Amino acid sequence: MSGQSLLVPGELSPARSVPGNIRRPEYVGKPAPTPYTGPEVQTSETIEAMRIAGRIAAQAMEEAAKLIAPGVTTDELDRVAHEYMCDHGAYPSTLGYRGYPKSLCSSVNEVICHGIPDSTVLRDGDIVNLDVTAYIGGVHGDNNATYLCGDVDEESRLLVERTREALNRAIKAVKPGRQINVIGRVIESYAKRFGYGVVRDFTGHGINSSFHSGLIIPHYDSPHATTVIEPGMTFTIEPMLTLGTHDYDMWDDGWTVVTKDRKRTAQFEHTLVVTDSGADILTLP
């Protein structure tokens, strides 16, 4: 694995503004969102609105990813995604969610998830996950991907490639009538082939008009994930695989989650809607 030094927190830039004409999610300015009490199966109108939100999120992530290179700060990636979403009439869902201060999550190397964009400068050989969610039309679209920065070592490159494949296999396993735990079973069995850890405490989730509806999508074979998959359900799958342990520590910022052994980790995510025969990806650019 790369001999990169471990990450340390950088300096945060001031909060970015969102034009006043862009609709805010209900949780902005509050300590926490109002708990979702609606159905997990969505109407066709909600699904089509989510397709728009998902497309904007995917395109914003794609635009930010174009800048990934040694010498670029994670804050600059946040700026690009923020401006893209605002320019397309969407609110960056993470901005103000439970007090989160930025418009995307940037998780580098040993950061599992929820890294906060700041003055951290990307280095040759880093891997960086961008997690972007857009809110428009009263609904959210959520996606993430892990990118290579410069010349990345083979072990890290394979981790990224196989984590993407784990997501693809999990999506193919989604079928009406199956239990949610089929998703984690597929991911975990694939990851075990390579000796990877599978993060257990951070999961996929139901998503619709609520950023996190309360539906939990584990990425390991959980005996408790017995909810039956139904057409019209909308949720994310977002496996986090590690080169070592799945255990984690959290930075003092209350957000940044790092592997306990500080080995590298990768993640990929799509928002899906269940169809009569499988799953349709809503976060396509």
- 45: enclosing H helix or E strand: helix 44-65
pLDDT string in tens for the chain (285-residue length): 456 789 999 999 999 999 999 999 999 999 999 999 999 999 999 999 999 999 999 999 999 999 999 999 999 999 999 999 999 999 999 999 999 999 999 999 999 999 999 999 999 999 999 999 999 999 999 999 999 999 999 999 999 999 999 999 999 999 999 999 999 999 999 999 999 999 999 999 999 999 999 999 999 999 999 999 999 999 999 999 999 999 999 999 999 999 999 999 999 999 999 999 999 999 999
Alpha-carbon separation of residue 45 from 55, 219, 277 (angstroms): 16, 29, 20
Structure tokens belonging to residue 1 = 């694995």
DSSP state letter for 198: E
Residue type at position 74:
T
Structure tokens belonging to residue 207 = 């998503």
Q: What are phi and psi of 189, to 5 degrees?
A: -65, -35
Q: How many CB atoms lie within 10 A of CB 31?
A: 7
Q: What are phi and psi of 127, to 5 degrees?
A: -115, 140
Under 8 Å between Cβ of 179 and 225: yes
pLDDT per residue as tens digits for the range 32-48: 999 999 999 999 999 99
Structure tokens belonging to residue 210 = 């609520």
- 86: enclosing H helix or E strand: helix 74-87
Output the pTM of the full model. Answer: 0.96
pLDDT per residue as tens digits for the range 209-222: 999 999 999 999 99
Distance CA 7, CA 12 (A): 15
